[in-house]
Structure 1
Amino acid sequence: MNAMASYDFDRFVDRHGTWCTQWDYVEDRFGVPGLLPFTISDMDFETAPEVLTALRGRLDHGVLGYSRWRHSDFLSAVVDWFGRRYATVVDPESIAYAPAVLYQAGVLIDLWSGPGDGVVVHTPAYDAFPRLIEAHGREMRGCGLDDWAEFERLLALPDTSVLLLCSPHNPTGRVWTEEELARMAGLCARHGVAVISDEIHADLAHREFTTWAGFDPGRWAVVTSASKSFNIPALTGSYGIIGDSEAHAAYLRRLKDADGLSSPAVLSLVGHIAAYREGEGWLDALRAYVAGNLEMVAERLEAAGLNWQPPQAGYLAWIDLRPLGIVADEPLQRELIEGEKVAIMPGGAYGAPGFVRLNVGCPRAKAEAGADALIRALSRLT
């Protein structure tokens, strides 16, 4: 039986008027209201029905008081998920709740580095990383995805303290192989560099994924959430796996005592537990549907003269337009916004002009509209 038969990913859900960042506030980034958006990395699908059922059940209880995350329901859900999906044993004592992945990454940067220290990031970079690093008074040190010589040179600098790894990589969708991660782990251990691995897109990998939790170079943490894969970012909430016990204790002191955030968003806990215990079938069906969207984009781009391969993870099509002579963002963005009335993220937002990031985490009809609009805009320029 086709796993997708149980779920209708073709159904359009109108998100207008729901305070939706992607739909209601597209003007903030693109300067024009009412554009058809293919932008911020959330999806237009309802979350898994198993998650919605659990949330409704919790709301029906009626009391939304202070709660705890350090209990077997939440911890075992995470441990079991990593065991099933990634064949990785996770110590429940290493898990820590966080209100957001970037919050936890920021706290760990503070713990594992000093002001002015270097933080290595692969480029093109997720646009929140440079802002996060700068806000914490550190220096971002960018390195190309396959430039191992530069990667080791940056790690070897005496004031480089942290590797902030995006795994799978955003915006490119790159999935690091086990061999590549082992090489990174060895280099970080050699140079005394701590590792923070942002794995929020891991559940959406289209090939075998290896979590950093399977390596132990010393000081390391995996920061992640079910929010991307199950489309529940509005519930807030995430978690980390912190391999160093002293850092784990220091992080919890910061969370509880310094920042007053020890009581979690209870609906986030409910959502995570339901997703990890009951939502696996929905997730696998979603991944298959998104892979179909990406194949559709590849076929239409090929017909338009551009050889593009779908990413190894996620629903974000990172498209290199330089073979068509597109080396700057502004002319194409003008055609997309004014001529096609669509919003597609320009590569310059990630430090790579000449690319676009097209979000196809949406019903097929919308994804087709986005791909066709991009191709029409390109045809007018080329």
Structure 2
Amino acid sequence: MDFNEIKDRRGTYCTQWDYIKDRFGKENLLPFTISDMDLESPEEIISALMERINHRIFGYSRWNHDDFKKAVNYWYKKRFNFDIDVDWLVYSPSVIYSVSRFIELKSQKGDGVLVNTPAYDGFFKVIEANERKIVSSPLVLKDGRYEIDFEDFEEKCKNAKIFLFCSPHNPTGRVWSAQELKKIIALCKKYNLFIISDEIHMDIVYDAHHTPILDIDDEYKENIVLCTSASKTFNIPALVGSYLFIPGEKDREDFLKILKNRDALSSPPILSIIATITAYNKCEYWVDELVKYTRKNIEYVVSYLKTHIPQLKCALPDGSYFAWIDFSGLNISSEEFQKYLIDIGKVAIMPGLTYGEEGRYFLRLNVGCSIKKVKDGLERLRKTVEYIKKI
């Protein structure tokens, strides 16, 4: 495995590279955008997929079998010391599909869905598409670290039916402590909020420890679903597939009725199932090396900004392969900065405004790539800032 290797993704129908114009209005920009990686998946996954492809028959498949369930259970025991109940485990085509279905199941049109902002932009879209109201509880930034304002959080709980949680948090990279999770559950229990926990970034963690929310409180677990996938960790989102833990028996039945009967989505892509089984059974070593690599990439970003662009600030996150960069020191709007990044730097970096008003003066830089690409992007960022300073 060589994370320094640069693989040309252009011409592969790749969202990040081939369709950059759709979001940024121009071609030929260096992209640090959507949350996938420019890194090859583990060799064990590739070999398993090739073996299945060489079988040359691709009929309908199943997810509800011991090989899939045991692989997921093994991963949770090994990585999080959490022994799941495999009866809770259910397949889903994507985390956002699961989120959407549980918003539908656990609230009515017009009800509030509470989120911590800034937030993954897919949360805003799925809440609005289900005709629910977004209830925002902004995170508080203290010394480069985001915290939940529990006083505000409790107040906002009064106006919501669901808490849509992101753990670890996208885009800020916070990994929530067990103590914070206990407070969240206690408040949701007090105000009778159902918790949907998106834990798709669970494996990319640095000095913190990720705790699955279902490992906290047995008494409230039937009012929680945990949604996740191997897709972010092993860079396999195009294979399409996720899973969720649904402790409540009726909730499982209701979800499966929608998945199977209404939406006809219960037959999974076989390559996704094989990739997940292989990843969890054979590729832990690869994740350990990946985490070391992305950490070094973010540390390089932090150091580079301090030395060469001191107007911009970035702290090492608890987890995720995102550098969350504060550009408020430039005294420029997000819209203006994006224009200069595109026209002068020829670089595409996700504007923090994408994740809500609280992200207005931030950039989300995806460092799930070679260090050479990170260095190139930072030089383009520096060129842009130097141009801004002259005008």
Question: When the two structures are superposed, what TM-score results if normalisation uses the length of structure 2?
Answer: 0.94
Q: 1:167 offset after TM fit, Å?
A: 0.6
The one-character-per-residue Cα deviations of 1:179-227 (angstroms, maximum 9, x if unpaired) are 0011001111111101010000011111211111213424101100000
Correspondence 1:219 to 2:220: no
Of 59-68 and 229-238, deviating more is: 59-68
- Secondary structure at the counterpart of residue 110 of structure 1: helix
Counterpart residue type for residue 196 of structure 1: I
Q: What is residue 295 of structure 2 aligned with on the other side?
A: 291
**How far apart are 1:357 and its partner, in Å?**
0.6
- AA aligned to 2:334 is D
Q: Is this contact kept in 1: 2:113–2:164, CA < 8 A?
A: yes
Q: How many angstroms apart in 1 are the aligned matches of 2:131 and 2:171?
A: 24
User: Which position in structure 1 is the counterpart of 2:70?
Assistant: 76
2:116 counterpart SS class: strand
Q: 1:87-145 CA deviation, whole Å, 9 max, x = no partner?
A: 11111100000001000111011111111111000001111111100101111101112
The superposition leaves residues 6-34 of structure 1 with CA deviations (integer Å, 9 ceiling, x where unpaired) of: x2000011101000000000000000011
- Say whether 1:345 aligns with 2:350: yes
1:31-75 CA distance string (max 9 Å, x none): 001111010010000101111111111111121110110000000
Worse-matched range after superposition: 269-278 or 144-153: 144-153
Cα deviation digits, residues 287-329 of structure 1 (max 9, x gap): 1011010010000001122442121111111111113324x11
Q: Aligned partners of 2:45 and 2:177: how far apart in 1?
A: 31
The answer to whether 1:131 aligns with 2:125 is yes
Q: Is 1:333 matched with 2:334?
A: no
d(CA) in 2 for partners of 1:245, 1:117: 24
In structure 2, the residue matched to 1:168 is: 168
Q: Which residues in structure 2 correspond to 1:304-343 (within 5 Å)?
A: 304-305=309-310, 306-326=312-332, 328-343=333-348
Q: 363, 368, 388: which one pairs with 1:361?
A: 368
Q: Which residue of 1 aligns with 2:385?
A: 378
Deviation at 1:347, TM superposition (A): 1.2
Contact 2:323 2:365 in 1 (8 A): yes
SS at match of 1:263: coil
Partner SS, residue 203 of structure 2: helix
Deviates more, 1:176-185 or 1:331-340: 331-340
Query: Secondary structure at the residue paired with 1:164?
Result: strand
Q: Which letter maps to 2:10?
A: H
How many residues of Structure 1 are paired with residues of Structure 2 in the alignment? 373
CA distance in 1, matches of 2:383, 2:299: 19
Task: Work out the CA distance in 1 between the residues paired with 2:351 and 2:374.
Answer: 17
Gaps of 5+ in 1: 1-6
Q: What residue in structure 1 maps to residue 210 of structure 2?
A: 209
Q: Which residue of 2 aligns with 1:88?
A: 82
Q: CA deviation at 1:229?
A: 0.5
Contact map agreement 2:313 2:327 (CA 8 A) in 1: no
SS of residue matched to 1:170: coil
- Equivalent residue letter for 1:54: A
1-structure distance, mates of 2:196, 2:165: 6
- Structure 1 moving runs of 4+ over 3 Å: none
- Residue 268 (structure 1) aligned with residue 272 (structure 2): yes
The 5 Å alignment of 1:103-182 reads 103-145=97-139, 146-157=148-159, 160-182=160-182
In structure 1, C-alpha distance between the alignment counterparts of 2:15 and 2:132, rounded to whole Å:
29
What is the rounded CA distance, in whole Å, between the counterparts of 2:247 and 2:205 in structure 1?
23
Q: Distance in 2 between matches of 1:86 and 1:278?
A: 17
1:200 counterpart residue number:
200
Aligned to 1:35: 29
Following the alignment from structure 1 to structure 2, what is the Cα–Cα distance between the partners of residues 230 and 343?
23
Alignment match, 1:254: 258
CA distance in 1, matches of 2:386, 2:212: 41
Amino acid at match of 1:321: F
The CA distance in 1 between the partners of 2:126 and 2:99, in whole Å, is 9
Whole-Å separation in 2 of the counterparts to 1:131 and 1:36: 26
* 2:329 aligned partner, one-letter code: P
Q: Which amino acid aligns with 1:123?
A: T
Q: Percent identity?
A: 44
